[in-house]
Structure 1
């Protein structure tokens, strides 16, 4: 892919009590392939900021760089720093963000966006362990604690810790397509797309000793997406009863087997739409949808566009 003349500028806002791991995610993902993005880090006053660990972080920029950002990422802060009313300096910094900029939060960063009123009436997510607290503080936000991230137009929110990787890869995929995003993921040695949602990480009883996993069956199914796979087929491969397989699959992945299959078929269809000129009906057959109309329905439900519109967008970018 040709390197653009002007790089997409990502500005990360580090607040007092920031988590160091998540603070570094945007730079690690967006700069994995040189030439397309630049990442700047700022604080509300340009000075060092305390982390939730035993060290501080010095940055090179103050809040003025937020005015130049194409994408703004709000890094998460320790839970004891969450307040319903924003400190004046934080509110002033957020006011600098351009209306046309994308705004992204990682984990508790959603509390900052909500306090600023940027999530009112929107669907959003945050760490599952903070869902009840978030709902009490911000009832006007449509919170979905079961997903890894939410893309609501130009405002994106993600769940805890590593879901910051997921949402940043999602943005790379939106900007440059799956092939480019997969290359970034390989360089960072992370999965380009994680199955399911937060439900698989919520505290639950430890599985019985020796309990079988559905991982091998998922790998088997991915090689046979074009086939009309049923729950019975999957359970038979896993050598489990239908009920046991469905329950264990949901515990491990966070969604039902049927929903997971649709997600994988849509993901494969997107890759083919980007990288090939195959007709939509032929792509539908290759990924396991009965008709082109079925593919159109599921793709629109997933990302809100038709196959033709998706292909135009990403083949032009490519």
Structure 2
């Protein structure tokens, strides 16, 4: 029964995005919701100016519809389902506001960093509150050991850091055609396997719904992209994968499975720190995917390489948690 639900969930989410993207893309183009490319970015990206963005709306809607329909198919949705949808929708709305202000209101920076951070923290606090109400553990398991550390109320700080951190990490990763779509599909697929291994079927259904949605989106987002997901999609995906890691108690292994997101974030941190302290840059440009572009790699080569790294990290993460 559950095997069929999982299979139908990924197919349903995939079909929703594949079938409705050809409707959404021209609609976004008519609204002139086109991507504005930063002048300080790689010069080769200027040709992407005007490509429809905010396609993440369809990813979020696809996951919501698929998750609700498929969880009701075998039972009533549990607390995990509602908590995951809370984060997906919450961070998706923050990203939507950011995109809308940048594109429709023509304010290049969108929400200010402070406004965005306040929204991200508010959603994380609400997630923690619901988690506590439902009696979820506040302990963190240490991979490769039987040791776990109960953080008590400090777990709230950890949740804020994890949700805000990974939502922004996914946002940084979304810089090349298909890069985030592919790496997200791999990472969510890995967590679907981990959730299944724990019989957390609500979480597994949500995870495969995301896999199906982003793979369907990838059909139109792969190089050369016909649509971008925008902050609407990237913030939602980053927050959602952090929430899955928390609910499955695989918080720390997310650093490995989400290794590409971590690498992208570290490259920005190191670049800024190096420039401020020494006046020199470590990379030709950060996030690190731009460094490889400026080193002569084609965009497609960078994307496929990062997908491969993400796949290897995910396989290793599953191996550590399931078979070791």
TM exceeding 0.5: no
Normalized per residue, the structure richer in strand is 1
Question: Which structure has the greater CA radius of gyration?
Answer: 1
- Structure showing greater relative contact order (alpha-carbon pairs closer than 8 Å, 6 or more residues apart): 2
Q: Which structure: greater helix fraction?
A: 2
